[in-house]
Chains A and B, each alone.
Chain A
Amino acid sequence: MACNPVRDRSDKNHSDGNMSKQTIVEYATRLGDDALILGHRLSEWCSNGPFLEEDIATINTSLDYIGRARMFLSYAAELEGAGRTEDDLAYTRDCRDFKNLLINELPRGDFAFTTVRQFLVDAFNLFFFEALVGSTDTQLAAIAAKSVKESRYHLRRSRDWMLRLGDGTEESHRRTQTALDDLWGYTDELFHMDPLESELLDTGVAVDRAAVRLRWEPLVTELIDAATLQLPQPYTLPGGGRQGVHTEHLGHLLAELQFVQRAYPGLQW
């Protein structure tokens, strides 16, 4: 992630006070962590995909997510102004400092689990980034404009796979339904607004997650039906990602993600 050219930041909004600057740093870190952790999970399919084309497709999606993470984290690091870089944020923070939502860190499971999670998150990201394009923070808006085009593609692919697996063989249907049931309780956290995001929503920086839900639910419900799957009974698992309270899986993920920088601090390609 090193060797980044100087970024054009001449259009940045400089008028914010220090307090609100810190909240934007936190907001960008959250969005960066969501992308980084899911991007890493997807990368685990490299050479493990069900067949060559899907292996490559999954890794390309992973690359988009990691690229997105770089944009958010390098912005957070720069705005923070404490001399840290995107690499410091990605490779040297511990579990408690990661602010990703829990759905992103769950182990990749089988291909059905990966597909269902991707569908739920891709649909969320499409609507989320469409809204973030209108952010009063011009850099967040620029990252969103870049991301939204990619999310449209991601969703096209994950939606097709939902239909194929849900309306496929008995086994693919069973696995997809199980994955959907297991994941459903984690989706609530996608739409939770805490005081920090509510404050940023008031200043036009952040996205209203409740409004995203109004667009997400009909799309997801309709597709689940088209894929001959059952909408799970509503249930909510405890969140905590935004407070740094994670499942036990994140530590294992970070052990792999951060190993090289932990063993050889400061190493560059």
Chain B
Amino acid sequence: MALIPVVEKTVQTNADKSVDTSVDTSLTAAGGGPAVTAEEVLRRRRRQDPDTAPLWEILDQVCDPEIPVLSIWDLGVLRDIERTGEHITVTITPTYSGCPAMTTITEDVEAALARAGFAEVSVKLTLAPAWTTDWISAAGREKMRAYGIAPPVQRSHTVACPQCGSDDTGLISEFGSTACKALYRCNQCLEPFDYFKCL
């Protein structure tokens, strides 16, 4: 909603300057992952806005407190950065409505920008459009797998074991250690593992 004017402006800017738009668009539907939506391509282009590009890189250091290998960018929680003079407005969105990490993420965003010398920061929480696992970046999905969490797949696909890669897995519980994960077991290597649910 509030993001739309910014998107349009940025697209124009980028088109004018023929900026390379191929960033991280390697994400495809292979392996049950999502195809890149047009909306997501626009979000990735926004990173290249010369006004805010360094800020996006600073916030790449802010990680999800519960999955510390994932940045809030990888997770799709970081939606937008706007700069008006010295004032910076960062827009984030919660993964789940009860996600207890939002307060920590807000504080971490403010701290990261403060360390880089930006004092005037406000963090906005937006609900619409609702977060979806489709926003997790390709790099994020790989980091998640390496960390031992199976990344989300469409319901028709099997959940592969992040340890041994076997497709012979079974659901133990619809909810794992956090609301965003389910608990699975690998019938091949016998390890239990978290699966990041498709939402």
Residues of chain B at interface, number, CB under 8 A: 34
A6-B122, A138-B1 are contacts. A64–B98 as well, Cβ < 8 Å?
yes
Instruction: Summarize A's interface: helix, strand, loop or mixed.
Output: helix
Q: In the complex the two chains form, is B179's CB within 8 Å of A10's CB?
A: no
Q: 7 A-B residue contacts at CB 8 Å?
A: A7-B124, A8-B2, A67-B94, A70-B97, A71-B127, A145-B129, A150-B97
- Identify which of B1, B92, B100, B129 gathers the most chain A CB atoms within 10 Å of its CB: B1
Contact A150 B175 (CB under 8 A): no
Does A143 touch B at the CB level, under 8 Å? yes
CB neighbors of B among A60-107 (8 A): 60-68, 70-71
A143 touches B98 (CB 8 A): no
Residue of B nearest to A62 (CB): B98
Q: Is A153's CB under 8 angstroms from B2's CB?
A: no
- Contact pick for B97, options A6, A68, A141, CB 8 Å: A68
Cβ-neighbour of B98 out of A57, A65, A142 (below 8 A):
A65
- A149 proximity list for chain B (CB < 8 A): 130, 199
Does B84 sit within 8 A of A, measured CB to CB?
no
* B158 sits at the interface (CB 8 A): no
Contacts of B1 in A (CB 8 A): 8, 10-11, 138
Q: Mark A220-255, 1 if CB is under 8 A from B, else 0.
A: 000000000000000000000000000000000000
A67 touches B99 (CB 8 A): yes
Is residue A218 contacting chain B, with contact meaning CB distance below 8 A?
A: no
For B125, the chain A residues whose CB sits under 8 A away are 4-8
B12 to chain A, nearest CB (A): 21
Q: Is A108 an interface residue (CB 8 A)?
A: no
| Residues A146 and B123 in contact in the complex (CB < 8 Å), given A56-B176, A60-B179, A64-B97 | no
B77-127 at interface with A (beta carbon < 8 Å):
91-92, 94, 96-100, 102-103, 106, 122-127
Q: Is A63 a contact of B179 with CB atoms below 8 Å?
A: yes
A156 CB within 8 Å of chain B = yes
Residue pair B102, A153 in contact (C-beta under 8 Å): no
> In the complex, what's the smallest C-beta–C-beta distance from B108 to chain A, in angstroms?
12
User: Chain A contacts of B130 at CB under 8 A?
Assistant: 142, 145-146, 149
Contacting pair A5 B97 (CB below 8 A): no
Q: Known pairs A146-B131, A150-B97. 4 more at Cβ < 8 A?
A: A5-B106, A68-B97, A147-B97, A153-B199
A170 CB within 8 Å of chain B = no
What distance in Å separates the Cβ of A261 from its nearest Cβ neighbour in chain B?
Answer: 18
B128 touches A138 (CB 8 A): yes
The distance in angstroms between the C-alpha atoms of A61 and B131, with both chains bound, is 18
Chain A residues whose C-beta falls within 8 Å of the C-beta of B27 in the assembled complex: none
Contacts of A11 in B (CB 8 A): 1-2, 128
Question: Is A67 within 8 A of B128, CB to CB?
Answer: no
Closest 7 CB pairs of A and B: A67-B98, A67-B97, A57-B175, A63-B98, A142-B128, A53-B173, A11-B1
